[in-house]
Amino acid sequence: MSAPEQTRWELADESKLRLALNEAKKVKGESLWADAWRRLKRNRSAFWSLVFLVLVVLGSLLAPLLPLSSPMALDLQDEPQAPVWPWEAVGDHAWSAETAGYLRDAWNLNAIDRSLLDLRTQLFGDFQLGHWLGTDSKGRDLMSRIVWGSRVSIQVALAATLCSLLIGVTYGALAGYLGGRVDNLMMRFVDVLYSVPFIFIVIFLITILNEYRTTLKDQYGIEYITVFYVVIGFIYWLTMARVVRGQVLSLKNSEFIEAARVIGASTPRIVFVHLVPNVLSVVIVYLTLTIPAVMLFEAFVSFLGMGVEPPKVSWGLLAVDTTEAINPIKTFWWLIAWPAAAMGTTLLALNILGDGLRDALDPKLRGK
Over residues 201-223, the pLDDT tens digits come to 777 777 777 777 777 777 766 77
In the chain, where are the structural domains located? 41-59+139-365
- Which residue did the predictor score with more confidence, 326 or 295? 295
Peptide bond into 277 cis (omega under 30): no
| Residue 9 clears pLDDT 50, i.e. is over it | no
15 membership: H or E segment, kind and range = helix 3-26
Angle among Cα 114, 62, 131 to the nearest 5 degrees reads 100
| Residue 262 clears pLDDT 70, i.e. is over it | yes
Over residues 47-80, the pLDDT tens digits come to 999 999 999 999 888 888 888 888 887 777 767 7
Burial 18-53 (b: 16+ CB within 10 A, else e): eeeeeeeeeeeeeeeeebbeebbeebeebbebbebb
Over residues 132-166, the pLDDT tens digits come to 888 887 888 889 899 998 888 888 888 778 888 88
Torsion sign over Cα 352, 357, 363, 367:
positive
List CB contacts of 179: < 8 A, sequence separation 6 or more: 249, 252
Position 48 scores a pLDDT of: 92
Chain length of the chain: 368
Position 30 scores a pLDDT of: 59
| Residue 189 clears pLDDT 80, i.e. is over it | yes
Question: What's the whole-number average pLDDT of the chain?
Answer: 80
First to last CA, the chain: 51
Q: Provide, rounded to the nearest whole percent, the portion of the chain with pLDDT above 70.
A: 87
Position 55 scores a pLDDT of: 92
CA gap 202, 199 in Å, rounded: 5
CATH of domain 41-59+139-365: 1.10.3720.10
| Residue 233 clears pLDDT 60, i.e. is over it | yes
| Residue 45 clears pLDDT 60, i.e. is over it | yes
